Structures are given as structure tokens and as C-alpha cells.
């Protein structure tokens, strides 16, 4: 079927205008809320996608309609706001500069204060606050230099949409291979309606010359709620990818359902670091983002290595389990996580380590910090399949509680089907003690600095896994997220 975007849009508007009771303003390039096949056709058409990708989306959508939203745990202290999937607008062209703040003077001063505290460089603050970027600083030149350097090494780093146009064979070969489009409710939804994301391809034997950061991907400020990332590391290559940002970003969406797929071939290594600081809602638990993400890496080749590191401080509710399928012999999977919940936030996170190949190893270190009425849940699976002779796993799962109204929950599942495997699980729960804070106070250290010091000490093993600059920001972020949580 030939799909011309404009015809599609017209037709769709015509079909749906009265049925759904809204009026389509074609000029605005934003699709009215609602989800049906036509919306998906429209998204695909607007992005000039090949037919196979449209079919892929439609198939995911058909399966999604048969699935039910997971009745996942949410603990008391959080008023679950049902997600109305028909109320979401699934396609929106980037906002025109006219709609954005013209300068920092028009931005909420509280937001700017936070940037200040986090030590975000002045020129970056504007971009984060959604100020029309090119009016403020010339980020294009930075990005261009960056791209030239990558191209020299043969690394492909571009938006997902670009990859679909320029490297369709790679996208087609790997898309959905690690996270099948019907993997779960939110992955299926993402597959049906994803709008953009990142694509990375590291050729054989190449060590990516720099850390790839989404920050440089300035061409999609409006990636939106349904982001899709695909990273392929060919034989013997290495890449470190940084996602997110310590600064709270302006965002009015309720639901985020991203999908990330990683594939590491023989002797390849992928290091994926995330700082997630989406809007957590206010101190009474009003508003905030639901962050339901599917992240999975496939250690396809022998001796391949995938490492997830995350610092999760944002979102009203997070469900996220970055996982590794250790298929290649001697492959290694790692998961290092800090999740901090304050006020009414809830984080349900952990990992799945599936050992398929021989002598595969996995290492899991999870640190959950709960303050206010926040709840933290570790949910993990370590699965050793019959063929995974001499597989090893070590899991360490520590919880820290601040105050008496918060909660920490741990649900580790271990399934071992090979008798030569070795699996260890250690867990601890500590309460940040008044006596610890008093001890610091008595040495002249303020309560705020004391809490930050104690929390950073608690998370040290995880923070050590972050690239240097990210780690410094993460420390500041942890301290900031706990501000006012000590009496």
C-alpha cells in the first residue's frame, strides 16, 4: 500500500472527526488523542517508513489489543491513576519555536534553581528548559564535530528514524530480536506507536572513540513517550552509552514506555548507563510520570559483555528491569542500580539474568533508598538453563530506609537447572540512623551533608561504575532528591 502522508492525514481526519468527537487541526501537525490502526498508519506514513515496518507495528498493535495491562504491585501511599490509552496523542511534530519560552526569563524559576544546584552549565539549562535552542547557543556545531569524529571510526549514531531511512537492512535485521514486539504489554504498545529514539552501530573491532550521550542527539528534542533504542556492537567492539540527564526535564506526559535493545557479538562489550530524573510528582504525590520501560541485552557472542548501570531518582512510578540473556559461552552480564524514592514515589526495579551459555557470569548490585512515603522494590530473576554449565551469579541487594513511613521490598527469584552452577544472593536492610546523623553533626557536618554522605557511601559500588562525569552529577542528584527529607 502506498502511503502519502498528507492523503493519509486528511483521510484519517475525515474518518475520525465525528466518530471521536474532536476536530483535527491539520496545520498543527499533531494527531488528536486516540489509538487505532489509522493512527499507526499515520505515524508510519509521516516517517516514510517501509511497508515491513508498518506491518510490524500493526501486528504489535493487534497483539497489544489482546493483552491486558499488568496489574503490577503498587503499594499504599500512591494513588494509582489509570492510564487512558485513548487520551494520549501518539504523534506530535516537534513544537515550533513560537510555542516555546523565548528565553530563560520565561522559565519557571524553581526549575532554574534546580539546574543551578546540579551545576548544569548555563548554556545547557536553556535547552533543558525547552527554550528554543538555536536562539541561545550553537549546539549544532558541537554535534557536527562529534559526528565527524564518529564517522571517521565508522560508528553509526543517529536517530531511529534516520536509521530506518539510511540503514534499513540493519534495523530490519535486529529490531525486536531482543525484545520481541509482543514481549509485554508496554513493549507491544511501544512497538506499535514508537516515534523515535537512538540507533547505534559499532563495526567489528572498533572501540568507540567517545562516550555516546543522548545529549548530543539534539535533532530530536521531542522524542516523547515511546522511545526506541537499538545498539549493535559487532565482534570485538566496545561502546559506552549514556542515557538521560540529571536535570529534571520539562514533560507533561503521564506515561513513558521506552524499549531498549542491546546486542553484543563475540568479544564485544556494551556499557549502558542511565540517569533517570523524570518529573516525580509533587510532595503530595500529585502528578508525575509513569516510567514503564523494557530494557534487555543479548550477549550473542562468546565472551561478550553487557553492563547496565542506572541511577533512578525520578518518575512517580518506575517499572524497569534491564536484563541480560547470556547466550554466548563465557559471556558476562552486569546490573548496577541505585533507585531512590521520596515523597510518594514508587520504584519497582531489578534485573533478569538468563544464563544460556557455558561458564556465563552475572553480577547484580542493587541499592534501594526509600524516604518519605516512597517505596522501593527489588524484583529479580536469575535463571540458569540446563546448558549453562559452571555458570555463576552473585547478587547483592541492599535497602536503606529513611524515616518510618517508607518501604523496601525484595522479590528475588532463582531458578537453577544445572547442578554445576553457583548462585549467591546477599541482602541487607539498613535504616539511616539518627545516631549516624548526630555523629556527623557532632563533627561539624550539617544534616543535609551528612545524609548525602551516608547515601553516597551506601551507593558507592554502583556510582563507581558510572563514567566519571556522570558519577559527579549523580552524587549531586542523590543529595538534591533527598533535600528536606531529614527533619
Partner 1 sequence: MSLLEIKNLHASVDGIEILKGINLTIEPGQVHSIMGPNGSGKSTLARVISGEETYDVTEGSVLLGGKDLLDMDPEERAREGIFLAFQYPVEIPGVSTKYFLRTAVNSIRAHRGLDELDAYGFLKLVKEKAAWVELDPALLDRPVNEGFSGGEKKRAEIFQMAMLEPTMCILDETDSGLDIDALRIVADGVNQQRSPDRGFLVITHYQRLLEYIVPDVVHVLLDGRIVRSGGKEIALELEDKGYGWLEEEVAAGA
Torsion of CA 208, 209, 211, 217, to 10 degrees: -90
- State the minimum distance, in angstroms, from the CB of residue 427 to partner 1: 15
- Tell which one of 142, 221, 453, 472 touches partner 1 (CB under 8 A): 453
Q: How far apart are the first and last CA of the chain?
A: 64
Q: Is 386 exposed, middle or buried (0-12, 13-18, 19+ CB in 10 A)?
A: exposed
Sheet strand arrangement including 212-213: 212-213, 238-244, 269-276, 305-312, 332-341, 361-370, 392-401, 422-431
By CB under 8 A, the residues from 273 to 312 that bind partner 1 are none
- Tell which one of 15, 84, 426, 449 touches partner 1 (CB under 8 A): 449
- State the minimum distance, in angstroms, from the CB of residue 409 to partner 1: 21
Closest CA to 328 of 350, 297, 351: 297
Count of positions (residues) in the chain:
487
- State the minimum distance, in angstroms, from the CB of residue 370 to partner 1: 17
Nearer to partner 1, 58 or 445 (CB): 445
What's CA 425's distance to the chain center, in Å?
Answer: 26
Nearer to partner 1, 330 or 465 (CB): 465
- State the minimum distance, in angstroms, from the CB of residue 284 to partner 1: 27
Got the DSSP string for 383-408? EE-TT-TT-EEEEEEEEEE-SSS-EE
Determine how β-strand 156-159 pairs with β-strand 196-202: antiparallel
Contact by Cβ (8 Å): 388, 418? yes
128 CB contacts (<8 Å, ≥6 apart)?
Answer: 115, 120, 245, 247, 249, 250
Nearer to partner 1, 73 or 464 (CB): 464
By CB under 8 A, the residues from 407 to 446 that bind partner 1 are 430, 433-436, 438-446
By CB under 8 A, the residues from 354 to 413 that bind partner 1 are none
- State the minimum distance, in angstroms, from the CB of residue 119 to partner 1: 18
Contact by Cβ (8 Å): 393, 355? yes
Nearer to partner 1, 311 or 416 (CB): 311
Size of the residue set binding partner 1 (CB under 8 A): 24
Nearer to partner 1, 89 or 436 (CB): 436
- State the minimum distance, in angstroms, from the CB of residue 342 to partner 1: 20
Residue 320-339 contact track with partner 1, rule CB under 8 A, x = bound: --------------------
* CA triple 201-207-211, angle to 5 deg: 75
- Residue 292: CB atoms within 10 Å: 25
By CB under 8 A, the residues from 455 to 474 that bind partner 1 are 456-461
Residue 226-245 contact track with partner 1, rule CB under 8 A, x = bound: --------------------
- State the minimum distance, in angstroms, from the CB of residue 441 to partner 1: 4
Nearer to partner 1, 70 or 457 (CB): 457
Sign of the alpha-carbon torsion through 169, 173, 179, 181: positive
Residue 177-206 contact track with partner 1, rule CB under 8 A, x = bound: ------------------------------
Nearer to partner 1, 180 or 403 (CB): 403
- State the minimum distance, in angstroms, from the CB of residue 401 to partner 1: 14
Nearer to partner 1, 156 or 453 (CB): 453
For residues 4 and 27, give the distance between their C-alpha atoms in angstroms, rounded to a whole number: 16
| Region for 223 from its dihedrals, namely left if φ exceeds 0, alpha if ψ lies in -120 to 50, beta otherwise | alpha
Nearer to partner 1, 67 or 445 (CB): 445
Footprint of partner 1 (CB under 8 A)? 430, 433-436, 438-447, 449, 453-454, 456-461
Amino acid at each position: 500500500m502506498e502511503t502519502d502522508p498528507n492523503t493519509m492525514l486528511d483521510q484519517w481526519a475525515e474518518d475520525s472527526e465525528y466518530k471521536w468527537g474532536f476536530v483535527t487541526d491539520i496545520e498543527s501537525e499533531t494527531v488528536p488523542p486516540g489509538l487505532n490502526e489509522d493512527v499507526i498508519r499515520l505515524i508510519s506514513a509521516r516517517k516514510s517508513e517501509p511497508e515491513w515496518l508498518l506491518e510490524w507495528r500493526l501486528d504489535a498493535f493487534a497483539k497489544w489489543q489482546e493483552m491486558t495491562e499488568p496489574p503490577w504491585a503498587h503499594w499504599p501511599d500512591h494513588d494509582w491513576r489509570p492510564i487512558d490509552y485513548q487520551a494520549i496523542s501518539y504523534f506530535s511534530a516537534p513544537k515550533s519555536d513560537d510555542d516555546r519560552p523565548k528565553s530563560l526569563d520565561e522559565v519557571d524559576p524553581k526549575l532554574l534553581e534546580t539546574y543551578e544546584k546540579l551545576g548544569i552549565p548555563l548554556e545547557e539549562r536553556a535547552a533543558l528548559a525547552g527554550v528554543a535552542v538555536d536562539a541561545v547557543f550553537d549546539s549544532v556545531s558541537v554535534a557536527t564535530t562529534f559526528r565527524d569524529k564518529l564517522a571517521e571510526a565508522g560508528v553509526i549514531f543517529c536517530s531511529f528514524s534516520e536509521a530506518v531511512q539510511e540503514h534499513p537492512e540493519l534495523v530490519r535485521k535486529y529490531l525486536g530480536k531482543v525484545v520481541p514486539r509482543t514481549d509485554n504489554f508496554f513493549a507491544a504498545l511501544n512497538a506499535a506507536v514508537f516515534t523515535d529514539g537512538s540507533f547505534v552501530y559499532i563495526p567489528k573491532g572498533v572501540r568507540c572513540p567517545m562516550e555516546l550521550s543522548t545529549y548530543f542527539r539534539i535533532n530530536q528534542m521531542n522524542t516523547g513517550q515511546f522511545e526506541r533504542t537499538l545498539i549493535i556492537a559487532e565482534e570485538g567492539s566496545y561502546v559506552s552509552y549514556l542515557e538521560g540527564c540529571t536535570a529534571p526535564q520539562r514533560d507533561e506526559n503521564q506515561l513513558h514506555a521506552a524499549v531498549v535493545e542491546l546486542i553484543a557479538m563475540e568479544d564485544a562489550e556494551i556499557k549502558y548507563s542511565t540517569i533517570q530524573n523524570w518529573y516525580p510528582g509533587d510532595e503530595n504525590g500529585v502528578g508525575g510520570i509513569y516510567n514503564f520501560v523494557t530494557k534487555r541485552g543479548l550477549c550473542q557472542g562468546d565472551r561478550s559483555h553487557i553492563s547496565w548501570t542506572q541511577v533512578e531518582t525520578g518518575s512517580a512510578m518506575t517499572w524497569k528491569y534491564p536484563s541480560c540473556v547470556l547466550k554466548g559461552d563465557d559471556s558476562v552480564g552486569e546490573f548496577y542500580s541505585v533507585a531512590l524514592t521520596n515523597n510518594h514515589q514508587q520504584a519497582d526495579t531489578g534485573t533478569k539474568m538468563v544464563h544460556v551459555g557455558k561458564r556465563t557470569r552475572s553480577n547484580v548490585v542493587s541499592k534501594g533508598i526509600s524516604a518519605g512515603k516512597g517505596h522501593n522494590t527489588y524484583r529479580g530473576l536469575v535463571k540458569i538453563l540446563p546448558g549453562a554449565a559452571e555458570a555463576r551469579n552473585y547478587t547483592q541487594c541492599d535497602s536503606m530506609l529513611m524515616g518510618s513511613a517508607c518501604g523496601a521490598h525484595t522479590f528475588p527469584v532463582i531458578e537453577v537447572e544445572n547442578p554445576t552452577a553457583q548462585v549467591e544472593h546477599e541482602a541487607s536492610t539498613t535504616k539511616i540512623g539518627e545516631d549516624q546523623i548526630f555523629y556527623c553533626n557532632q563533627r561539624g557536618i550539617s544534616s543535609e551533608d551528612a545524609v548525602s554522605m551516608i547515601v553516597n557511601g551506601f551507593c558507592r559500588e554502583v556510582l563507581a561504575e558510572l563514567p566519571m562525569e556522570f558519577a559527579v552529577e549523580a552524587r549531586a542528584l542523590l543529595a538534591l532528591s533527598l533535600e528536606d527529607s531529614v527533619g
